[in-house]
Structure 1
Amino acid sequence: MTVVVWIVEGTWPACVDAARTQAADGAEIVLLHVSDEELPAIAHGAFAGLLGRGRPERDPGTRVEELAAEASQHLLRQAADRLGRPCTRVARTGRIEREVVAAAEDAHLLIVARDGDRSRLGPKSLSPHSRFVIDHAPCPILLLWPESPPALSSIPTPPTPPHPPHHH
C-alpha cells in the first residue's frame, strides 16, 4: 500500500499527522512537495526583458530555482522528522496540480489539506490547485482540515424559494 502525502507550506503538519494515524504499519509513505515552475520562469523573463541577455550569471531566475529547491528539501526534511518512520521524499517541479495528480498515479491513498478560505465550510476552502487534484486524482483521497473545522453555522442559509402566485 502506498500513501502519498502532499506537503504544502502551512498545512503539511496536519497531513503528516494524518499519515501517521491512517497509514498501515507496512505502508510505503511518500512525502511529496511540488515547486511551482512559474516562479523561476517569471524571474528569468523579467530579467531578460529588463536587462537583456548579456549577463546570465546575474539572472535572478537561477537563484529563485535554487531557493525553491532548498525550501522544498527543508520542508520534506521537517515532514519526515515529524512522521518519525521510514518514508520516501519526493520533490517535483512543474504545474503543481498536475504534478500531484501524476505522483498519485499508483497510490492507494492521497492525503490533502484544505488550503483556501478555512474560516467557513464550503467549496472556497479549497484553492484552485487542490480543487483540480481532488477532481482528477486517480486514487482515494483523505481531505482534511489543517486545524479544527469551522462550525456548521458557517454554511450559508439556503435561498428562500420564490412565493407561488396567488389565485383567487
Structure 2
Amino acid sequence: MTVVAWIVEGTWPACVDAVRRYGVGESGIVLLHVSGPQVPGVARGAYAGLLGRGQREADPGERVVELAAQSADRLLTAAAQRLALPCTRLERTGRVEREVVEAASGAELLVLARDGDLTRPGPHSLGPASRFVVDHAPCPVLLVWPGPVTAGPGGPQAPGPPPRP
C-alpha cells in the first residue's frame, strides 16, 4: 500500500502521526513537500524594481531557491525522524495543489492536515490549496486536524492554531 503524506510547515506532525496510527506498516510511505514558485519570482522582481534590471550578478531569486530547498530538506528530515519507519522523501516545486494531486496519482491514500480557520470545524478549516487537493485527489484522502480535538458543550471543538515549531 502506498501512502503519501503531504508535509507542510506547522501541520506536518499531525500527518506523520496519522500515518503511524492509521498507516500501512512499513510499506510504501512517501513524505511529500512542495515548494511554490512564487517567492523567488517576487524576490527577483523586488530586486529589479529597487536596483534596476541590469543587476543580474546579484539576483536574489537563486539564493531564495537555495534557502527553500534547505528548508524543505530540514522539514522532510524531521518528518522522517518522527515517522521512524522506512520512507521515501519527495521534494517538488510548482503550483502546490497541482503537484500534490500529481504526486498522489497511483497512491492508495493521501494524508493531509487542515490548514485554514482552525477555530471551528467546517469547510473554512481548509485553505485554498488543501480544498483543491481534497476535491481533485485521485485516491482516498485522510484529512486530520493539526492538533487534538476536544469535546465541548455543543459537540466537538476544534483546536486553536497549531503551535510554532
**Is the shorter-chain TM-score for this pair beyond 0.5, marking a shared fold?**
yes
- Root-mean-square deviation (CA, aligned residues, Å) is 1.6
1:10-89 to structure 2, matched below 5 A, reads 10-89=10-89
TM-fit CA distance, 1:100 = 0.5
Which deviates further from its counterpart, 113-122 or 23-32?
23-32
**Aligned AA (1:115):** D
Structure 2 match to 1:101: 101
Note the residue ranges of structure 2 that are not aligned, 5 or more in a row. 157-165
Structure 2 match to 1:141: 141
TM-fit CA distance, 1:46 = 1.9
Rg comparison, structure with higher value: 1
Q: Contact between 2:44 and 2:61, CA under 8 Å: does it hold in 1?
A: yes
Q: Tell me the secondary structure at the aligned position of residue 90 of structure 2.
A: strand
Which deviates further from its counterpart, 1-10 or 26-35?
26-35
**Aligned AA (1:131):** R
TM-fit CA distance, 1:22 = 1.7
Point out 4+ residue stretches in structure 1 off by more than 6 angstroms. none
| TM-score normalised over the length of structure 2 | 0.88
Structure 2 match to 1:121: 121
TM-fit CA distance, 1:56 = 1.9
Q: 1:150 to 1:96 in 2, by over 3 A?
A: farther
**Aligned AA (1:47):** Y
* Aligned positions, number: 155
Q: 1:154 to 1:132 in 2, by over 3 A?
A: farther
Deviation digits for residues 46-98 of structure 1 (CA, Å, limit 9, x no counterpart): 22233233232311111111111000000000000000011000011111111
**Percent of aligned pairs sharing the same letter:** 62
Q: 1:150 to 1:47 in 2, by over 3 A?
A: farther
Q: d(CA) in 2 for partners of 1:150 and 1:8?
A: 23
**Aligned AA (2:12):** W
Note the residue ranges of structure 1 that are not aligned, 5 or more in a row. 156-168
